[in-house]
Chains A and B, each alone.
Chain A
Amino acid sequence: MKDNIIDTDDWLFEITPKNKLLSLNLKEVWQYRDLLMLFVKRDVVTVYKQTILGPLWYLIQPLFTSVIFTLIFNNVANISTGSVPPFLFNLAGITIWNYFKECLTATSNTFTSNAGIFGKVYFPRIIMPFSIVISNLLKFGIQLFIFIAFFIYYYVNGASISLNKFTFLFPFMVLIMGMLGLGLGMIISSMVTKYRDLKILIGFGMQLLMYISAVMYPVSFFVEKLPKYAWIVEYNPLSFVIETVRFMLLNTGKFNISMFIYAISITVIILISGIVIFNRAEKNFIDTV
């Protein structure tokens, strides 16, 4: 009698060949939240251990890139940044671009670089890309500080820069950037387990992508010089985000509400497909990686 009651289908969980299409088990992810935070901590703490400059490296990278960009694109190639100081213009673009880039490249290696740990123990795999996005957010925060410092410096020295009423939406743009990097990264990470070609592609693909994402020039400049190919930059959600971030922080350019909705829709589509594809891959990737 007791046996009958017990042998009903009150199973705690079931392991079956395929995950459901969108089985992001948020409850399970929540159970593992401590692990998420520990991964974040591990990423942040261990990167620059046993280096002399330590976290200063977070700052050196965008600073030097901005200096070089300013020299090449603004001083040599004469790209106009309007009334905004070119250095600050580039720094804003690079800071937000770096966040996207780091999220994407690190996420796309989720399976290949964690094969050892994934092959031995189970935890919701999605914790890994989440932790990457969060730890990079911290890094982005530090880099934002240097931007703020230079912003104040230029402001005090009378450069025509200012915030505007859209500035409060800035965190939202960062979120879009992170989600784009996460979504694309998850799609790539799932395919890279089988086709390593993608790993090579990512290396120079990111560089090419940067050039069509309006990091070191205003979109209007591109439209003016290359009207035939302007759509590449105009419909690239990344260039929209970067352009809008500069609008919010430096009050240069304009805010386009229809493009805003467009960018959000693209982000949502990419993020959902990323989660779906990631879920499909996580079960058996260990056999093909």
Chain B
Amino acid sequence: MKNTILKIENLSKQYRLGNVGTGTISHDLNRWWHKVRGKEDPFLKIGEVNDRATKGTSDYVWALKDINFEVKQGEVLGIIGKNGAGKSTLLKILSKVTGPTTGSIKSRGRIASLLEVGTGFHPELTGRENIYLNGAILGMTKAEINAKLDEIVEFSGCERYIDTPVKRYSSGMTVRLAFSVAAFLEPDILVIDEVLAVGDAEFQKKAIGKMQDISKGEGRTVLFVSHNMDAVLRLCNTAILLKNGEIVKHGLTTEIVEFYLNSEFGTSSIKEWNDAQNGNSVAKIKYVKAHDKDFIRKENFLITEEIGITMCYIAVEGKKKIHSAFNFYNSSGVNIFDTHENNTDLYFEKKDKGIYETTVWIPKNILSEGIIIVGVALVTHDPFEIHFHQREAIVFNMIDNISNSPTRGEYVGDLPGIIRPLLKWQSVKIKL
């Protein structure tokens, strides 16, 4: 049983919309008057759910409302949600940048946040001076920084410039130096916002790798906010989903990410059509689903397993060569590949009226980890005609089981690329 290191109880945060200025003093006086008479704050009652898209009537919104959760020692918790769901507000309260309106946070360890690297860098000071300043701002003592100075400088790769004012640095060097300081922080709880993921590819890799070291290797508790579902899936054991300032779901990362994507895209690994929008007078689609080799529908697949996509459709007109087709996209919207029905038993047949089912098998070790979005189409080729096409029909997740991944071997870091094929490698010793 691991101990609870962080406990958040009934946490709420209210914000005032619009300009602070006119009306501020009257609200302040009103609030004060209520307090003098021993009454409740009149503006605490009128807050609305924080939905940025709909226009509300109140000047006050709840950026967070009744947040309750606990974090265990060594847990890596992902916090996901749409823009404006309250993720950053939560992190800001955790890192004591702003206070909650109600509720409390209890902690058993030092919290350090990487809301933004390079906070407090002074352009006139040298790299070395800035390491000390930045380290102290982040909560390190001079002795701690002294002990790690060489490591920090080495990690940053800025040795040559270390005694030059930071204003002469390139922006990339500034970020490197700043991250190096942050990377050698040793708090009990580390709070990381996704802003960390800006910078060039090399830096991102370094940052994510370091985060993995921190969480996996050193057993540190990490709270990680990101829009990058792949990173959340890879790094976090558990996650919470925020929506309009409230916790929608808290549980295993895979479940939360799946739930989030389903609610976000409105899709899951199965889709059925019952309405009139399901095709034309030639063919109508009934359903499409993703499943494993035993035809059991799943939302999450291992990279090492075979995935089947089955589509069911009705041939309405008859005597037409109707073929199925699929498009595969990753979470960045990149078209990984398209595939059209071929070499099936019914391929050359002019199909009679009736219901048909077609399955395509994606071999194992092809798709990379992350979210896969599948588009479906019903076509005839001669003449070419599209009877039905939907770009985002179903969605499923690819998971790379790091501890047993043939494509990774012993490598656990970031492995980019839109596909992840298992290739044949050869190595021999040619000379002693």
Contacts and interface: CB of A to CB of B under 8 A. Distances in A.
A100 B133 CA distance: 27
B319 interface: no
Contacts of B108: 10-12
A121 B137 contact: yes
A35 B136 contact: yes
A270 B31 CA distance: 25
A263 B37 CA distance: 35
Interface centre among A6, A7, A31, A121 (most CB of B within 10 A): A121
Nearest to A124: B96
A17 interface: yes
Given A15-B105, A17-B103, A45-B124, A123 B97 contact: no
Contacts of B107: 11-15
B332 interface: no
Interface stretch (B138-146, B236-244, B380-388): B138-146
Contact of A35 (B20, B92, B137): B137
A133 B100 CA distance: 30
B102 A17 contact: yes
Nearest to B28: A194
Interface in B1-60: 1, 3-4, 7, 15-16, 20-21, 24-25, 28
Contacts of B20: 194, 288
B4 A6 contact: yes
Chain B: number of interface residues, binned into ranges: 35 or more
Given A17-B102, A45-B124, A12 B110 contact: yes
Contacts of A2: 1
Interface stretch (A78-86, A170-178, A279-287): A279-287
Interface in B198-226: none
A283 B99 contact: yes
B22 to A, nearest CB: 11
Contacts of A18: 99
B4 A117 contact: no
B122 A46 contact: yes
Interface in B105-132: 105-110, 113, 115-116, 119-120, 122, 124-125, 129, 132
A119 interface: yes
A13 B104 CA distance: 10
Interface string B74-113: 0000000000000000001111111111111111111001
Contacts of A286: 92, 97-98
Contacts, number: 112
Contacts of B137: 35, 117, 121, 123
Contact of A34 (B1, B125, B141): B141
Chain A: number of interface residues, binned into ranges: 35 or more
A35 B96 CA distance: 17
A42 B69 CA distance: 41
Nearest to A118: B97
B97 A120 contact: yes
Contacts of B100: 15-17
Contact of A46 (B16, B96, B125, B136): B125
Contacts of A123: 137, 139
A50 B168 CA distance: 14
Contact of A194 (B24, B105, B109, B138): B24
A42 B101 CA distance: 35
A204 interface: no
Given A15-B100, A35-B137, A120-B116, A7 B4 contact: yes
A117 B129 CA distance: 17
Interface centre among B1, B21, B137 (most CB of A within 10 A): B137
Interface string A10-36: 111111111000000000000110110
7 contacts: A2-B1, A3-B3, A38-B133, A42-B133, A46-B125, A283-B99, A288-B24
Interface of A: 2-3, 6-7, 9-18, 31-32, 34-35, 38-39, 41-42, 45-46, 49-50, 116-123, 194-196, 283-284, 286-288
Given A11-B107, A14-B104, A122-B97, 7 more contacts: A12-B110, A38-B136, A46-B125, A118-B97, A122-B96, A195-B24, A288-B16
